[in-house]
A and B are shown apart, each in its own frame.
Chain A
Amino acid sequence: MNATPPALSLENVSKRFGHVQAVEQLSLEIEPGQMAGFLGPNGAGKSTTLFMIPRLVRLGGGHIRIFGVDIERDFKTAIRSVGVMVEAPAFYEYLSGRKNLELSARILSIESPRREIDQILDRIGLSSRQHDRVGSYSMGMKQRLGVGRAMLGNPRLLILDEPTNGMDPEGTQEILSFLRDQVRATGLTIFISSHLMSEIEEFCDSVFVINHGRLVASGAVREILKPHRQILRITFRGQAPDIESLSRCEGISTAETIAQDTLEVTLAQRDSAWLNQYLLSRGFQVAALVPKQRSLKEFFLAITGEKNHA
């Protein structure tokens, strides 16, 4: 049998820095062609985990395999199919963006580096600034150049550590959409870390949630993240319903008054369309019905049920 190995497989991966257990017995698998999110608050162990994949941080225990190749056994073969951008991408500030890419392309022994660099610069929207020194680039431009550098050599797996850090919302949307398109068009696998749930929710197929170095949840985004987003903020035209009667309604867990014309409702087993219909049928005019974004802290409380996890 010749089954396709996972694009990335972490098996009981651990890492300790002195007295701090940064990552503990972490296991996960990402199938090829997926965009997988790695979610966790700052200090959860996301970056340490990502740093261990290209061996920037030494593996404390366990195994990491890239398309079935163990990084400790054959690092060069394993890493050849990976593009990595960890933390804020660093560049030689005294060199141009293009020259920085040329240096990376040389190490990767790319056949036609000039053509590939032209294509990447075009895709990340830096063609017009390619000859400027990186020192003159904005944070967002550096992030884009970092993503471009990670894509040199047509990797099959892209590992990105908070690639939208420091980018404006427009730039964030643009770069994540671009990555999502790459996954769809080329079958690229992406493992992307973030502490922003919205990014993972909007662009990823699956998610791995980490806290205190341990995996606390994993699965399809719609299963892991969406059920926790059933809090709705409703603004009414005119009178708002009585919260006590609303709370008694089947399908509504809690209701809370935020302002005279605004309520916050937590749904149970129902969706916003149902609630809208329910309110209209009782003669209330809904001006706005907005899902409330949960903070990561609230999300962790919800999935772990323990305050100390938050």
Chain B
Amino acid sequence: MRKLSAPLLLLRNEISKALRRKLPYFGLFAVTVLCLVIYAAADQLSQASSANAWGYVAFSMLLVFNDLGLIFIIVFAALLFSEETDSGTIRATLAAPVHRWELYLAKAITGLLYMLVLWSVALLVSIVLARIRYHFGAITDAFGVVYPRGTVFRIFLLGFVLSWVPLAALVMYGLFISTLIRSPGAAVAVGIGTIYLIDFTKHLVGLDPYIFTRYIGYSWQILQLVAQGVDYQWQPEIWRMLTLSIGCAVLAMSAGAALFQWRDLNG
């Protein structure tokens, strides 16, 4: 049997550990419950959500990832390093033939995988609930078909993929916090705290155009427009979203990896 490379072995270990934790499952459970609550209250919350199944899914995902999903993603990422640094388990891992960047890469991929799993569960539950009440058909208005079903499907697929980009940046930000702060509790508090602090103050200090978190719900907002049969436009805002999110992700990952590379891991 061919031997796996160190990053893959480390990734397998990270997944094994995550599968035996309670927090990831609690995140999935919480997101599912939130989807059910949104389903129960969808009619009162938004008219757009009740237009069709597409609109419902976009609305449900927007609500899930604007709050609860965001929190679980950042908590999971913020614990990846801080918990191991605090308990000392990271020392046993690094006292083996592995490079620090390999472990950083494995942790980053684990964070991204959890984000994708959380996203997939939320989407799956939203789709199942949407099918109970609505129909995934063509988008129509009083004059006929605005977007055929196949076109909507393709636009939604693109929207799904694009929605991962700011969430990936969020994972990298959480991982950076996790590298910076050794105490798991403090890392979680700083991770969530800074995201909300920035969110509340970005308009006041004129930082809004430069903060990637404003784009977390962007794809879902566009998809809601599509579901309503309204003329939609990805460009040019989508380029700003991609540049900002990818830029923040790369910056956070580079800073975190550099910090971790040179950190002394004694007591």
**Chain A bound to chain B:** yes
Q: Which residues does A use to contact B, with CB under 8 Å?
A: 17, 47-48, 51, 54-58, 75-77, 79-80, 82, 84, 86-95, 99, 103-104, 106-109, 149
- Do A106 and B13 have beta carbons less than 8 Å apart? yes
- Do B17 and A103 have beta carbons less than 8 Å apart? yes
Q: What residues of A have a CB within 8 angstroms of the CB of B262 in the complex?
A: 58
- Do A87 and B94 have beta carbons less than 8 Å apart? no
Q: What residues of B have a CB within 8 angstroms of the CB of A88 in the complex?
A: 88
Could you list 21 A-B pairs, sorted by A, with CB under 8 Å? A51-B265, A56-B266, A76-B98, A84-B95, A87-B91, A88-B88, A89-B88, A90-B91, A91-B92, A92-B17, A92-B20, A94-B20, A99-B16, A103-B16, A103-B17, A104-B92, A106-B12, A107-B93, A107-B96, A109-B3, A109-B9
A87-B88, A87-B267, A92-B89 known, 16 other contacts, Cβ within 8 Å: A47-B267, A48-B266, A51-B265, A51-B266, A56-B265, A58-B264, A75-B97, A77-B97, A82-B95, A90-B88, A92-B17, A95-B20, A104-B96, A107-B93, A107-B96, A107-B97
Q: What residues of B have a CB within 8 angstroms of the CB of A94 in the complex?
A: 20-21
Answer whether residue B151 sits at the interface, using C-beta atoms and an 8 A cutoff. Answer: no
User: Closest 6 A-B residue pairs measured CB to CB?
Assistant: A90-B88, A84-B95, A54-B95, A76-B97, A56-B265, A57-B264
Residue of B nearest to A94 (CB): B20
Q: What CA separation (Å) do A17 and B89 show in the bound complex? A: 22
- Do B88 and A79 have beta carbons less than 8 Å apart? no
Q: What CA separation (Å) do A255 and B95 show in the bound complex? A: 51
Q: What residues of B have a CB within 8 angstroms of the CB of A55 in the complex?
A: 94
Q: How far is the CB of B184 from chain A (nearest CB, A)?
A: 13
- Do A56 and B17 have beta carbons less than 8 Å apart? no
Residue of A nearest to B5 (CB): A109
Q: A79 is contacted by which of B12, B95, B264, B266 (Cβ under 8 Å)?
A: B95
User: Among residues 1 to 35 in chain B, which have CB atoms less than 8 Å away from a CB atom of chain A?
Assistant: 3-4, 6, 9-10, 12-13, 16-17, 20-21
Answer whether residue B99 sits at the interface, using C-beta atoms and an 8 A cutoff. Answer: yes
Q: What residues of A have a CB within 8 angstroms of the CB of B13 in the complex?
A: 103, 106-107
Q: What CA separation (Å) do A90 and B87 show in the bound complex? A: 6
User: Among residues 73 to 126 in chain B, which have CB atoms less than 8 Å away from a CB atom of chain A?
Assistant: 87-89, 91-99
- Do A89 and B264 have beta carbons less than 8 Å apart? no
Q: What residues of A have a CB within 8 angstroms of the CB of B92 in the complex?
A: 84, 89-91, 104, 149
Q: What CA separation (Å) do A108 and B9 show in the bound complex? A: 9
User: Among residues 232 to 267 in chain B, which have CB atoms less than 8 Å away from a CB atom of chain A?
Assistant: 262, 264-267
Q: A75 is contacted by which of B3, B93, B99 (Cβ under 8 Å)?
A: B99
Q: What residues of A have a CB within 8 angstroms of the CB of B17 in the complex?
A: 92, 95, 103
Q: B89 is contacted by which of A51, A91, A107 (Cβ under 8 Å)?
A: A91
Q: What CA separation (Å) do A80 and B6 show in the bound complex? A: 13
Q: What CA separation (Å) do A93 and B86 show in the bound complex? A: 13
Q: What CA separation (Å) do A106 and B264 show in the bound complex? A: 25
Residue of B nearest to A90 (CB): B88
Q: What CA separation (Å) do A88 and B92 show in the bound complex? A: 11
- Do B99 and A76 have beta carbons less than 8 Å apart? yes
Q: What CA separation (Å) do A47 and B266 show in the bound complex? A: 8
Q: A90 is contacted by which of B20, B89, B96 (Cβ under 8 Å)?
A: B89
Q: What residues of B have a CB within 8 angstroms of the CB of A48 in the complex?
A: 266
Q: What residues of A have a CB within 8 angstroms of the CB of B9 in the complex?
A: 106-107, 109
Q: A87-B88, A92-B17, A103-B16 are in contact. Are A56 and B264 (CB under 8 A)?
A: yes
Residue of A nearest to B89 (CB): A90
Q: What residues of A have a CB within 8 angstroms of the CB of B4 in the complex?
A: 109
Residue of B nearest to A58 (CB): B264
